């Protein structure tokens, strides 16, 4: 009997030559395939392949819908766990409001109604049911109708709730898993305050928490600021946004918070008895992020071998792959399990499946984005060591058993930091500040994030969009006062804006 | 200045005489009202009042829908946290499938299609969209279509997934918060196996986990067994169920698991390559419980003062209520906060609101179901003690600061156990075994849970239902073989069944 053991280090993500150990693996191994296009060559197809082959999501039978598979949902759960802790510490409580919203509610706030009208999915009327109802595209209207009932006095304020739910917006032309689907999952926070000052302050505070989530959990650097009138939430007074730059030069909105002012309060009769015993309309904000974040993580960090996940959101942060030969088989397996137990804190597991070769497993877990691989064979058993391989750099480190746990934790932290730094470097290198229109156009065509003085007029922004397809992503907060000329129309401008194409 | 401090111990849940400390509280206190009907007099109205006044849920503007408020959702989260741990340990992974299901999918399994047809909410067709789609009433069909794509070989089995989501079933005539609503939240587990043996074994294992959840977390004793053909899941081969008896003598289904056999596998082409290299249809089970459980908790444990929650699902298991007089005000408040900090483990908080009297707070937290109240006034400050008051028994215990934490934890455990024992005693006392039809009818009219020999024929069960409105709730597992006569039709019966009216 001959046992083969080969690993193709140079091109492991497209591993077509399969190895048969003990003759068991032919059928399954033949069906596994790595990513077949390069990120730098066909970004869109590369993204689809990573999402599908890492088994994060799949297309659903109804056009525009997606199924979030266990590996994708685990990322969402990591984000939920993190953010539930955050909002709990801010006095926000989770709730669940109905899926269906009456037609009359949409009409109460006219801008809101107009903004969402094309996106609504209506339910076929049943006999005896009077009013037409639609699936929620967001929950402002149905929530604020209830708030008006529940909130009576300044003693009930601030009032802060959050909802994790599914959302439906029909107007999606071309499906892109996680990024453009008719249904998606999100959280929507909705708060009510006595004063506008408090309302704006907390809208910005929640945006700040989104920034921490993006940077510290997802390892994605962001830039933030205010949306222009054109990009503002329908019915809101101001929209604050967090944006990230994707490797293809398009910006992706990572979360928004809205100062709704008293607009909805007036439409829904949300009044309270103030401290000086007068009835007054409440101030409101709302804030949300969605499963789009998973798409951003994939785009920013992954590579031509497949998914790369920041360790903090990886369900299993390490996999122990035993390298098995008949000789010492049991001993290697036993010790591999021991090592995984030592690494319980990072949710490590042993891939002890008989039906697959070690080389096949290396490829599979690279494709599926396990941050650290622990290789462990007979030689390692002898030398009381293991070999760590980092997913982001491919760097190998030989580690003694005694320092394995410490080294694994250290490398996971380094990987988290490295992913952020790489993305930050890309963002910096991709950002160009310009003041003239021809520079602006060149920068957009070179897929840069453009920073330029802007008059903030809707007509001018539409003109820019028409000529370049780029839009204002956000106008940074706290800019120094300056007398500027709009990059497009030359009229007076007091602030600069980030521009890019966007998802 | 005169400070009043009175507590009406005898009838605190209907506390109409309000006290004004420092003249601040008149407006708000006037609006608080306890439960105005007795559980033993008008059970249905009593239930509605507890749910609404403890702020667990509210009616939504669309008929048949509910809003789950923060106090209600916190119970659901406690159940989710518990059950997510359980299923994780069983190798089940969470996913999210689309809300909308194509019409053709419902038609693939004919019994299933027929069973759910009247309950579907269809989406109005948009231009250019071909197939009619409906909101999920359950997800078997859409999931199994995907499973057929994902599962290829015995190596992919067992395959176990779970989904937490919203569900819509239109055919609800009269809304009952948590118990009968068109939309509800639930979990649905769906597993695929190589053999029927494994499939049935795990269906029963998940039912066993539901039983533990009901008894150990919710403190609700249950009885379990198999459903008759009449009550079986549409499209399934066998349904296993968990039932609890409510104080009004009606049974409530607490969770079910279904052996789907190969029915759906055949309809959806869910085949796999077996160990002996043959294609074969897979075996499947599914299992679920819903936000109904919250309704069961309310009905079983609550009393005429309001909500009573088993400590294990109470978000805040204790509240410290300082009893404030001007003298020593700061000292009492400071120490009250210290005591709450000591009780962080049980998520205690201090109710230090100035605008409400201590008496008002006692009533509020009794109404809203905080398991333990810690009263703390100037006399207690002097004596280095606090007064514990248990929500279920009203029993007061004076405790020294040094043993407060230990005593609180002990009393919470005792309360959890006491609630279960009380409910268990009720279940035992309400169960009647009969063998004759006139005894059966009398027992049903006396709101008993009836245990009787049953022929298991659909015609006979329908007859029983017509005459008494009671149905077979379940046929217990592992009954001793016996030659019996059906309590209704007198024909041969081999097993006994539980009968009751049901929710």
**Which structural domains are found in chain B, ordered by start?**
12-33+314-425 (3.40.50.800), 66-301 (3.30.930.10), 434-500 (3.30.110.30)
A24/A39: higher pLDDT: A39
Q: How far is CA A286 from CA A106, B211, B445, in A?
A: 17, 40, 53
Radius of gyration (C-alpha) of chain A in whole angstroms? 26
Question: What 3-state class would DSSP assign to B8?
Answer: coil
The answer to whether A183 contacts B93, with C-beta atoms less than 8 Å apart, is: no
pLDDT, position A270: 98
The residue-averaged pLDDT of A72-99 equals: 98
- Residue B212, Cβ neighbours under 10 Å: how many? 13
How many Å apart are CA A454 and CA B478, to the nearest integer?
Answer: 78
Dist CA A58 CA A177 (whole Å): 7
So what's the pLDDT on residue A9?
37
Q: CB-based contact (8 Å) between A126 and chain B?
A: yes
Contact by Cβ (8 Å): A128, B171: no
Identify the closest residue of chain B to A353 by CA–CA distance: B155
Residue contact A62–B131, C-beta within 8 A: yes
- Identify whether the C-beta of residue A226 lies closer than 8 Å to the C-beta of residue A474: yes
Alpha carbons B455 and B432: distance in angstroms, whole number:
18
- pLDDT at residue A86, as a whole number: 98
Residue ranges with strand state E in A305-384: 318-322, 349-350, 372-376
pLDDT above 50: residue A436? yes
State mean pLDDT over A371-395: 97
Neighboring chain A residues of B185 at a CB cutoff of 8 Å:
96
Residue B386 CA to residue B405 CA, distance in Å, equals 11
Partner residue facing B98 (CB), from A65, A77, A149: A65
Cα–Cα distance for residue pair A373/A393, rounded to 1 Å: 12
- Asked if B270 contacts B281 with a C-beta cutoff of 8 angstroms, the reply is yes
Residues of A in contact with B95 (CB under 8 A): 67-70, 73
What distance in Å separates residue B186's CA from the closest CA in chain A?
A: 12
Q: What band does A207 get if pLDDT is binned at 50, 70 and 90?
A: very high
State residue B309's pLDDT score.
98
* A149 in contact with B, Cβ within 8 Å: yes
Question: In percent, how much of chain B has pLDDT > 70?
Answer: 93
**Residue B98, strand partner residues:** none
Residues in A closer than 8 angstroms to B28, CB to CB, are: 152-153, 155
- Cα B255 to Cα A398, A454, B223, B242, B278, distances in angstroms: 51, 60, 11, 5, 36
β partners of residue A78 = none
Closest CB to A166 among B68, B74, B166: B166
Q: Which residues of chain B have pLDDT under 50?
A: 1-31
Half-sphere exposure of A98 (CA within 13 A, CB side): 28
For the stretch A389-404, pLDDT in tens is 999 999 999 999 999 9
A472, A455 Cβ separation under 8 angstroms: no
Q: Answer whether A172 touches B (CB < 8 Å).
A: no
For B61, nearest residue in chain A (alpha carbons)? A102
Phi, psi (degrees; rounded to nearest 5) at A410: -65, -45
B338 in Cβ contact with B287 (< 8 Å): no
DSSP calls for B259-304: EEETHHHHHHT-EEE-TTS-EEEPEEEEEEEETHHHHHHHHHH-BT
| Distance of alpha carbon B395 from alpha carbon A411, whole angstroms | 55
B24: left (phi over 0), alpha (psi -120 to 50) or beta: alpha
Residue B466: alpha-carbon gap to chain centroid = 28
Nearest to B323 by CA among B364, B351, B344, B365: B351
Would you tell me how many other CB atoms lie within 10 Å of the CB of residue B22? 12
Other Cβ atoms within 10 Å of B426 Cβ, number: 15
Interchain contact, B95 vs A77, CB within 8 Å: no
Q: Are B64 and B175 in contact (CB under 8 A)?
A: yes
Q: In A, residues 5-44, which contact B (CB 8 Å cutoff)?
A: 27-28, 31
Say yes or no to pLDDT of A4 above 70.
no
Tell me, yes or no, if A128 comes closer than 8 A to chain B by beta carbon: no
| Measured distance CA(A272)–CA(A148) in Å, rounded | 9
- Select from B55, B90, B98 the residue whose CB has the most chain A CBs within 10 Å, as the one to mutate to test that interface: B98
Q: For chain A, percent helix, then strand, then coil, each to nearest 5?
A: 40, 25, 35
d(CA B256, CA B231): 11
pLDDT reported for residue A126:
76
Distance from CA of A293 to the nearest CA of B (A): 16
**CA atoms of A140 and B94, how far apart (whole Å):** 28
C-alpha–C-alpha distance, residues B415 and B418, integer Å? 5
In sequence order, the 6+-apart residues with CB closer than 8 A to the CB of A77 are B94
CA distance B502 to chain A (A): 26
- A92: nearest CA in chain B? B70
Of B29, B42, B450, B68, nearest in space to B292 by CA:
B68
Whole-model pTM over 0.80: yes
In chain A, residues 324-363 whose CB comes closer than 8 Å to chain B: 353, 355
- CA dihedral sign, ordered A309, A311, A313, A319: positive
For A278, other C-beta atoms within 10 Å of its C-beta total: 9
Helix, strand and coil in chain B, % to nearest 5: 40, 25, 35
How confident is the model at residue B128, as a pLDDT? 67
The DSSP code sequence of B39-106 is TTT-HHHHHHHHHHHTTSEEE-SSTT-EEE-HHHHHHHHHHHHHHHHHHHHTT-EE-B--SEEEHHHH
Please answer whether residues B358 and B5 qualify as being in contact, where contact means their C-beta atoms are separated by less than 8 angstroms: yes
Mean confidence (pLDDT) of chain A: 92
CA A386 from chain center: how many Å? 34
Whole-angstrom Cα distance, residue A51 to residue A35? Answer: 10
pLDDT above 60 (res A7) = no
Q: Which of B304, B297, B436 is nearest to B366 (CA)?
A: B304
B143 to chain A: closest CA residue: A67
């Amino acid at each position: 009997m001959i046992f083969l053991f080969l690993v193709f280090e140079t091109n492991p993500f497209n591993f077509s030559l399969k190895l048969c150990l003990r003759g068991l693996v032919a059928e399954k191994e033949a069906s596994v395939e790595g990513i077949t296009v390069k990120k730098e060559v066909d970004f869109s197809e590369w993204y689809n392949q990573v999402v599908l082959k890492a088994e994060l999501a799949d297309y659903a039978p109804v056009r525009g819908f997606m199924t979030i598979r266990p590996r994708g949902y685990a990322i969402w759960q990591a984000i939920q766990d993190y953010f539930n802790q955050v909002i709990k510490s801010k006095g926000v409580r989770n709730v669940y409001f109905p899926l269906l919203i009456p037609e009359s509610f949409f009409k109460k706030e006219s801008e809101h109604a107009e903004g969402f009208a094309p996106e609504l999915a209506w339910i076929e009327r049943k006999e005896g049911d009077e009013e037409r109802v639609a699936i929620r595209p967001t929950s402002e209207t149905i929530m604020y109708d209830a708030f008006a009932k529940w909130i009576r006095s300044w003693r009930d304020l601030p009032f802060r709730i959050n909802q994790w739910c599914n959302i439906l917006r029909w107007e999606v032309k071309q499906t892109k898993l996680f990024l453009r689907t008719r249904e998606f999952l999100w959280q929507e926070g909705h708060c009510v305050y006595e004063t506008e000052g408090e309302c704006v302050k907390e809208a910005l505070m929640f945006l700040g928490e989104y920034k921490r989530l993006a940077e510290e959990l997802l390892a994605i650097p962001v830039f933030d600021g205010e949306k222009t009138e054109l990009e503002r939430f329908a019915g809101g007074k101001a929209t604050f946004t967090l944006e990230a730059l994707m490797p293809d030069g398009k910006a992706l909105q990572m979360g928004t918070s809205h100062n709704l002012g008293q607009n909805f309060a007036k439409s829904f009769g949300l009044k309270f008895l103030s401290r000086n015993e007068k009835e007054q309309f409440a101030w409101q904000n709302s804030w949300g992020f969605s499963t789009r974040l998973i798409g951003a993580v994939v785009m920013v960090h992954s590579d031509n071998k497949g998914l790369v996940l920041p360790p903090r959101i990886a369900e299993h942060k390490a996999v122990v792959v035993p390298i098995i030969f008949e000789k010492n088989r049991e001993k290697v397996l036993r010790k591999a399990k021991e090592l995984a137990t030592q690494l319980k804190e990072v949710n490590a597991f042993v891939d002890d499946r008989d039906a697959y070769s070690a080389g096949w497993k290396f490829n599979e877990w690279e494709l599926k984005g396990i941050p650290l691989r622990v290789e462990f064979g007979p030689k390692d058993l002898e030398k009381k060591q293991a070999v760590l391989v980092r997913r982001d750099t491919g760097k190998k480190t030989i580690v003694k058993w005694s320092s394995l746990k410490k080294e694994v934790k250290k490398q996971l932290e380094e990987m988290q930091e490295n992913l952020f730094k790489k993305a930050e470097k890309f963002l910096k290198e991709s950002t160009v500040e310009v003041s003239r229109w021809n520079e602006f156009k060149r920068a957009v065509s070179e897929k840069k994030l453009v920073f330029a003085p802007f008059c903030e007029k809707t007509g001018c922004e539409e003109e820019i969009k028409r000529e370049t397809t780029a839009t204002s992503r956000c106008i940074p907060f706290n800019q120094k006062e300056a007398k500027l000329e709009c990059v497009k129309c030359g009229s007076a401008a007091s602030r600069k804006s980030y521009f890019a194409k966007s998802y």
